[in-house]
A and B are shown apart, each in its own frame.
Chain A
Amino acid sequence: MGLIKKLKSKILDKYCSKCQHEMNVTLQMLYALPDMRVGHYVRHEDADYYKKHLVAIQQKSQIPAGMYACSLYVYQCPSCGHRAVKLVVFLPVREEEKLEQGLYFENGEMDDFVFGAQNG
């Protein structure tokens, strides 16, 4: 049972990597990525890049055609309190989304951005 939980936590983002409990999504935000345009997408793994370039928006309709967007999910484990941030970079195309990249930060790399922005 423990092995399955560990495997789940490795494969699925919503399972805590510390205690293997299912985590809750405590915050979900939508951002535009004005630096990235269709046809000129460059993969970035660094959290600092996203902290610098993400612009908070309310709705997907606010994103101009050809501009990339990013969904941010904050997961928190109800058991041990461990926190993780997932970023999903996508290209909104009318009603569809073209997924480009998924990033998972669980060592607090995005905390100052997410919680700093919330507090500010």
Chain B
Amino acid sequence: MQYNQKIKKVNGLYLVLYIFVPMIPVAVTVLLSLLIPEQEGRFAGISALLGIAAFVWWMAGWKLVLNMKKKSMEKKLDTAGFVRNHTFNSDKSTIVIDAQHGDIALLFCFNPTAIQIASMQKITRAWVDDCAHGSGVMRGSSCVRFCFEIDGITVKVNTFTSNRRWRMDSNYILTGISKADMMVNEINRAKQAGQQAG
């Protein structure tokens, strides 16, 4: 766990390993198929299977790792005395608020090795972005999120995403806005509590 260090959404080393490590077995089998021509067919088959596995890993591996880390995050926070007043799990991150101590814990999909804890005082502003565009009856959105600025970086947490556009009065959008409003209120409230306590 990292306390009050500069927030990093992406761990460069993890990202490089995430992308290139699955390519190593594919490259090795391709190389072997070239070096051992009598086994060419077998190695070509294996490399094709490994290629498919690598593709699946690139598509879903980050979600798998994030879900595993989310579970261990709860235990680690509890052990560290972090009071989990409010937890929000989004598709790409997990945000946990400790209103009692005025702290926030962050876990990002491309930096899952570090649970980053920061004081809420570092948050300069928090707001809801409903990503609405269009006008009149065509006004709609495919994404709702809450955002906050911490250490000069903007963290965007999706409360609703879709591959199609929904009207602003649709149940999906309303639920997303409600969740985002709630989280922004929680952030502001915890920040105030932290100020009073500190």
Query: A-side interface residues toward B, CB under 8 Å?
Result: 37-39, 64-66, 91, 93-94, 96, 98
The secondary structure that dominates the B interface is helix
Closest to B169 in A: A96
| Residue B171 CB within 8 A of the other chain | yes
Query: B-side interface residues toward A, CB under 8 Å?
Result: 169, 171, 174-175, 177-179, 181-182, 184-185
Contacts of B169 in A (CB 8 A): 96
Closest to A65 in B: B181
**B179–A38 contact, CB under 8 A?**
yes
**B181–A93 contact, CB under 8 A?**
yes
Contacts of B181 in A (CB 8 A): 65-66, 93-94
- Give the distance to chain A from B41, nearest Cβ to Cβ, in Å: 52
- Give the distance to chain A from B147, nearest Cβ to Cβ, in Å: 16
- Give the distance to chain A from B93, nearest Cβ to Cβ, in Å: 16
Contacts of B179 in A (CB 8 A): 38-39, 66
- Give the distance to chain B from A86, nearest Cβ to Cβ, in Å: 21
- Give the distance to chain A from B59, nearest Cβ to Cβ, in Å: 26
Q: Kindly state the separation between the CA atoms of A37 and B181 in the bound complex, as whole angstroms.
A: 12
Contacts of B184 in A (CB 8 A): 65
**A64–B174 contact, CB under 8 A?**
no
